[in-house]
Amino acid sequence: MKLPSPHDLGLHRLLKPLRPLVSPLVDTLAMQRMRSAVNIADLRQCAKLRAHKMVFDYLDSGADDEITLRRAKDAYSELEMHYHVLAGLKPPLDLSTKVFGEKVSLPFFACPTAGNRMFHHEGESAAARAAQHHGTLYGLSSLGTTSIDDIAKMHTGPKVFQLYVWKDRGLVQEVIAKAKKGGFQALALTVDFTWYGNRERDIRNGFTIPPNYTVKQVVEAIKRPAWTWDFISNDPYTYANINKDVPADSLAAFVNNQINPAFNWEDAEWLMKEWGGPAAIKGVVRPDDAMRAVKAGFSTMWVSNHGARQLETSPATIDVLPSIRAAVGPNVEIIMDGGVQRGTDIAKALALGADSVGVGKPYLYGLAAGGTEGVIKALNILKVELDRAMGLLGVGTVDELKAKGPTLIKRRVGSARDYPYPGPNGCC
């Protein structure tokens, strides 16, 4: 027999009036840490210190042994930036570009990610407000915990709605109709999520949405008072864009029940006809799939391996990006995400073929560390770093970075220091 949760007992209704008094007290240290963060790695540590262990590990983890997760970050370090000098640039640089045909102020944006309210009660609202603040694209997941209508009120700029490969076509039609009505200009179909990845940190932690109230989870909750107060003093969250009456049970169980592994190219073509607007296929890592997607009607290739959370040892997206650009040519839009932790990473992706770059973990670290203010800070860190990288590279606009990219970014070649000569007898 399942024990009733604090939300089942209505505790949040009693605690909510106390939030103006209690929240500033329990959030003080967390907000101080977040405001002192210098880079995304610092924000990650802030998130780890504020969020419940189960929640942080869900955000931070990858599939299986997390080899792909590590490679996704390390791949950028193998790319050197061969900069021009005396470029005669005059600040401010122009970081604006177009995404899905819409003008934006930054060439990167917060990726659509599921269940944002588990990290902070502001959830997707925080990311939408941060995107509005920075004048960039906002992406909402169909497994979001904030509704399409609510997001439309907070973000008046370009928006993309992310859709999974659902079994029920009626559900698909209903959801995309809501997205159109809510002012979402583009659709992104996630195609690398037909099975649920093996995320072993979640298994060890007993991860569920909402959390089970085991002794272990309660102990971890006591260790993180800011997150725990935030969770128990606010309304329980649901998958707001599917059915608000359905509670947010185990994410894995929900996905296994709703996702359609049999979804194929013919289904994708049907979806393109139903949507009738700009659309990305999200999860492409092969040139042949990219070329087929263009034929199926997708306007945008979204190079992604689902944050290294699905198939272990799938390639780092920055490594396959140039081959996909070569396959689809210069006129097909490409978005890339995966492994981005620095503005220099964004610069490298733009130089090697991406038209814009999605970031996931960086802004979620900001969200878990400090809500809207944390997301604004995460995006600002990357903005400042990208601006600096472009200035030091000697390019004044995103278009110039893309045009000169292949001459600016080169794969590092191993030197004699990496492979020292062992000597005639096999010794140093």
What angle in degrees, to the nearest 10, is found between the helix axes of 123-134 and 361-393?
20
Residue type present at position 369: A
Q: How many CB atoms lie within 10 A of CB 384?
A: 12
- Please give the Cα distance from 361 to 119 (Å, whole number): 12
Please provide residue 61's backbone torsions phi and psi, each rounded to the nearest 5 degrees. Answer: -90, 170
- Please give the Cα distance from 169 to 187 (Å, whole number): 16
- Please give the Cα distance from 100 to 264 (Å, whole number): 24
Q: How many CB atoms lie within 10 A of CB 47?
A: 30
Tokens of 113: 């990610």
SS3 content of the chain, % helix, strand, coil (to 5): 50, 15, 40
Tell me if 60 sits within 8 A of 48, measured CB to CB. yes
In Å, what is the CA distance from 32 to each residue of 46, 118, 364, 428? 9, 21, 18, 51
- Please give the Cα distance from 227 to 369 (Å, whole number): 9
CA dihedral 111, 375, 225, 199 (to 10 degrees): 20
- Please give the Cα distance from 313 to 65 (Å, whole number): 9
Burial of 412 (0-12, 13-18, 19+ CB in 10 A): exposed
Query: Token pair 């981005």 is at which residue?
Result: 340
Active site residues: 306
